[in-house]
Amino acid sequence: MNKVAALLALALAAFILVACGGDDSDTTPTGGGETTQEAETDGQENAGGGAEGGGAGATLSFEADPEGALAYTATEATAKAGKVTVEFDNPQSLTHDVAIEDSSGKEVGATELIADSSDSTTVNLKPGTYTFFCSVPGHREAGMEGTLTVE
């Protein structure tokens, strides 16, 4: 009986060790793996952007509020780094555009100022947070802006 009890205790101890070890080894490699995957993904994205060269690049579509408000239909947008086509549809008779500036306030691109029309432009975006807004005086302040996240 003593032997059996000892074996059971050993088995239990081994199980606990394995379980704990399993958790540890799960946690550590997963964390490291994620870091590696992120690095690899970034590399692939960069490589992909370079290979695509903007040909099959992403398109960002913006629209001024069809009801006539000083707003776009979205206040958030996301895009992948690289060449991005910015499309803007303005159904209003009021003139608007879509300008994009980086986090330092430097404008990286803008569509034409248009009314009851649409326009598009191409911008080269690096990963980061940008602001898109209407450059007509007062419109941005009135709410015609949003955040563009580039990954």
In the complex, which residues of this chain contact Cu ion (CB under 5 A)? 96, 134, 136, 139, 144
Comparison of 83 and 96: residue with beta carbon closer to Cu ion: 96
Range list of β-strands (E), 7-150? 58-63, 76-79, 82-90, 99-101, 107-110, 117-125, 128-133, 145-150
Measured from the CB atom, is 83 or 139 closer to Cu ion?
A: 139
Largest distance between two CA atoms of the chain: 92
> Whole-number minimum distance, CB 134 to Cu ion, in Å?
3
Phi first, then psi, for residue 63 (nearest 5°) are -140, 135
Q: How far is the CB of 88 from Cu ion (least distance, A)?
A: 10
Backbone φ, ψ for residue 134 (5° rounding): -95, 130
The least distance separating Cu ion from the CB of residue 82, rounded to whole angstroms, comes to 27
Decide whether 123 or 144 has the Cβ nearer to Cu ion: 144
- Residue 130, SS3 per DSSP: strand
- In angstroms, give the least distance from the CB of 94 to Cu ion: 7
Q: Which is nearer to Cu ion, 108 or 136 (CB)?
A: 136
- Write down the least CB distance from residue 101 to Cu ion, Å: 15
Q: Which is nearer to Cu ion, 92 or 130 (CB)?
A: 92
Q: Can you tell me the distance from the alpha carbon of 126 to that of 79, in angstroms, rounded to the nearest whole number?
A: 10
Query: Tokens 């563009």, residue?
Result: 148
Q: What are phi and psi of 47, to 5 degrees?
A: -65, -45
